Amino acid sequence: MTSEYLHPDCPDTSRLGPTEADAALRARAARVEADLAAADDGWRRGFTRRAFVATAGMAGVAALGSQYVTTKVAFADPAASNGNTVVVMFLRGGCDGLHMLVPASEALGVAEYRKARPGIALPAGKLTALSGGWAMNSALAKLQPLYKAGELAFIPAVATDEVSRSHFQAQDFYECGGPPAQARNGWLDRVLEKLGPGTTFRAISEGTSLPRSMAGNQSKIVLSGVDTFAFPGSKQLAASSKKALDALYRGIDHPLTSQVRETLSALATAEKIAAKPYEPGADYGEGRVGAALMDVARLVKANVGLQVATVDVGGFDTHTDEINQLEKIGTSLAQVLSAFLADLGPLRKKVTLVAMTEFGRRLGQNASGGTDHGHGAVMFAAGAGVVGGKVHGKWPGLAKDDLDHGDVAGANQAFDVLGELITKRLGVGSLSTVFPGHAYKPLGIFR
């Protein structure tokens, strides 16, 4: 499609969108795209061609609300987005699953648990009963209503032989979504690729830098709060400054180019959202995690086409003083999660959150009232489409022979959980490219 072909006056444009106004909008956006691409061509001076030009031949646009897509996007298949949002929360540092989701019955191994952790095992008074002999650290008590309502599920003993007890190797393995030979970009980047084009805000990462799971060519926005996402400096000169910036990054074959383009294109929307002060529908408490999830809720409500969001939570590397540390983090995490779903209101039927970590921790406590790096970890899923009120997957037990070098063994696979999440919630078809080399076996966690 050429820019002429997509001229707003052309009668054919009507088939570009469900309504005439929408079609005109798309057509105009497409023409702008084509013009920009032509300008790029004109300005190119000794640099290699930008890859996105490859798609310029079919330059089109998906509109959602008043959103224009970023430069790389081809015409959107309406089926590509089902309007659902997935939030992936990474608990950094190796969350001690045994201190969050406790095997509280004899059959599950409570005796071994108490024996190995004389100083830090949670006493009965600190446990909130779930089902099937499991209990939750009562710091998480605020999550119990979600569990009872079937909106929260746990998966224990998540690990594979390919993750080690190194934070960084394990995080990289999970965030890349597979072994290095096959998985070069982040797994969420491949999800975005499979989902096809979307809005500027289709993928966001709350924080200051890009998580490994998002690394790759697909456009995404990293921000810490939509309120701070505004063009700095003089208001009068903002327009001409932006114009200059746009021009300064034309014809350069460098990843920064797309970053600048994405930033500029996100500004208008963000400024519009930020113009209206946000009144959260629930109390998130203090802290960055709450602020991040509140921001996600705000973007979901603003209907900007958000499909994938990531949020990081730190502080789980509990080599010392685990009881107090996890009490603090657990309490705030539970409050934030329940506030998030409450704040979403009716839209909680569209949003699913999954929390994961790089590894669990050792069964035995260490010298410092903490635990060292272990193996089998806990995951949980909350929100829409979760087959909740249940602890899913297999449990290997805590008997001496069932352990992996003194740690909870791996019985369930994170990629099965994540794979089910994206197939069922986002409608991603085949997982073969998302988790290369992984034999997908859904656990029935999502519907």
Interface pick for another protein out of 41, 172, 272, 442 (rule CB under 8 A): 172
Q: How far is the CB of 66 from another protein (least distance, A)?
A: 18
Using CB atoms within 10 Å of the CB of residue 303, give its burial: 0 to 12 exposed, 13 to 18 middle, 19+ buried: middle
Crossing angle of helices 167-176/187-195, nearest 10°?
Answer: 10
Site for another protein contains 262 (CB under 8 A): yes
Site for another protein contains 288 (CB under 8 A): no
Interface pick for another protein out of 253, 281, 328, 345 (rule CB under 8 A): 253
CA distance 197 to 76: 5
For residue 378, what is the enclosing H or E element? strand 377-383
Site for another protein contains 132 (CB under 8 A): no
Site for another protein contains 67 (CB under 8 A): no
Site for another protein contains 269 (CB under 8 A): no
Crossing angle of helices 238-248/255-275, nearest 10°?
Answer: 160
DSSP class of 221: E
If binding means CB under 8 A, how many residues of this protein chain bind another protein? 85
DSSP string, 12-58: GGGGGSSSHHHHHHHHHHHHHHHHHHHHHHHH--S-PPPGGGGGGGG
Q: How far is the CB of 173 from another protein (least distance, A)?
A: 8
Site for another protein contains 275 (CB under 8 A): no
Interface pick for another protein out of 336, 403, 408, 411 (rule CB under 8 A): 403
The footprint of another protein on residues 147-166 (CB under 8 A) is: 161, 164-166
User: Residue 331, SS3?
Assistant: helix
Reference 94, options 344, 373, 293, 352; nearest CA is 373
Annotate each residue in 309-338 with x if it binds another protein (CB under 8 A) or - if it does not, as one string.
-----x--x-xx------------------
Q: Which stretch binds another protein (CB under 8 A): 6-14, 124-132, 206-214, 325-333?
A: 206-214
Site for another protein contains 367 (CB under 8 A): yes
Q: Residue 128 or 310: which CB sits closer to another protein?
A: 310
Site for another protein contains 215 (CB under 8 A): yes
Site for another protein contains 54 (CB under 8 A): yes
Interface pick for another protein out of 254, 349, 441, 447 (rule CB under 8 A): 254
Q: How many CA atoms lie within 13 A of 160 on its CB side?
A: 16
CA distance 275 to 76: 29
Site for another protein contains 234 (CB under 8 A): yes
CA 145 centroid distance within chain: 24
Interface pick for another protein out of 231, 359, 380, 415 (rule CB under 8 A): 231
Q: How far is the CB of 23 from another protein (least distance, A)?
A: 29
Interface pick for another protein out of 3, 241, 303, 331 (rule CB under 8 A): 241
Cβ atoms < 10 Å from Cβ of 394: 13
Interface pick for another protein out of 373, 390, 425, 438 (rule CB under 8 A): 373
Q: How many CA atoms lie within 13 A of 74 on its CB side?
A: 15
CA distance 36 to 447: 43
Interface pick for another protein out of 32, 127, 210, 342 (rule CB under 8 A): 210
